[in-house]
């Protein structure tokens, strides 16, 4: 790996670290004012489309799985990306792991919102809140907050771990492939 490639990769991980800093600030508590910084909003929109695609895809397996399908799809897409990257031996494995964690954080706020339902939803008041429906039908609405908190911290740990893994891998690869004479290439 050249010095230039290493610097570019480290810049990429710096952006991921910035996103990781934004997550607890903006995606910890449900609020009616769902205003996210530009980069986080862009990522949220992508995961939102993936989430919404999961409902009809998993809906063919029944109503309950259809409600769960949005959150499942949102987390499964980066998980599948991770396993494809792993199979191919790609350097993007930590990035895919990071976005799996980011998706867990994104789902966590929705789960926490089950009992209060303050988050604005696509379709407004005419649509069902997935987690309110799922937890409510199971008579477990009080589990929304602790389950959401668990998902949040699991996602944050995965994000932080992925950044550390990625930076460590980049530095190790650079050190291994550096010319023995010490000259830059």
183 domain-assigned: no
CB 135 within 8 A of CB 144: yes
Is 80 exceeded by the pLDDT of residue 182?
no
**Residue 40 forms part of a structural domain:** yes
Predicted structure pTM score: 0.90
The reply to whether 21 falls in a domain is yes
Instruction: State how far the alpha carbon of 126 is from the alpha carbons of 3, 42, 122, 123, in Å.
Output: 54, 25, 9, 6
SS3 content of the chain, % helix, strand, coil (to 5): 75, 0, 25
Q: Is residue 39 situated within a structural domain?
A: yes
Domain that holds residue 153: 3-177
Lowest mean pLDDT among 58-67, 91-100, 124-133, 137-146: 124-133
The domain total for the chain is 1
Kindly state whether residue 184 falls inside one of the protein's structural domains.
no
């Amino acid at each position: 790996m050249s010095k230039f490639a290493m610097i570019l990769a480290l810049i990429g991980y710096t952006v991921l670290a910035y996103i990781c800093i934004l997550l607890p600030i903006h995606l910890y508590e449900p609020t009616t004012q769902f205003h996210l910084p530009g980069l986080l909003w862009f990522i949220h929109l992508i995961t939102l489309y993936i989430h919404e695609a999961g409902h009809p895809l998993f809906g063919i397996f029944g109503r309950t799985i259809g409600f769960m399908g949005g959150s499942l799809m949102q987390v499964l897409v980066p998980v599948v990306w991770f396993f494809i990257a792993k199979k191919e031996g790609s350097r993007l494995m930590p990035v895919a792991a990071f976005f799996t964690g980011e998706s867990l954080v994104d789902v966590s706020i929705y789960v926490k919102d089950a009992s209060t339902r303050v988050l604005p939803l696509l379709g407004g008041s005419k649509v069902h809140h997935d987690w309110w429906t799922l937890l409510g039908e199971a008579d477990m609405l009080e589990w929304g907050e602790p389950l959401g908190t668990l998902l949040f911290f699991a996602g944050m740990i995965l994000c932080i771990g992925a950044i550390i893994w990625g930076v460590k891998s980049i530095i190790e690869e650079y050190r291994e492939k550096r010319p023995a004479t010490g000259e830059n290439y």
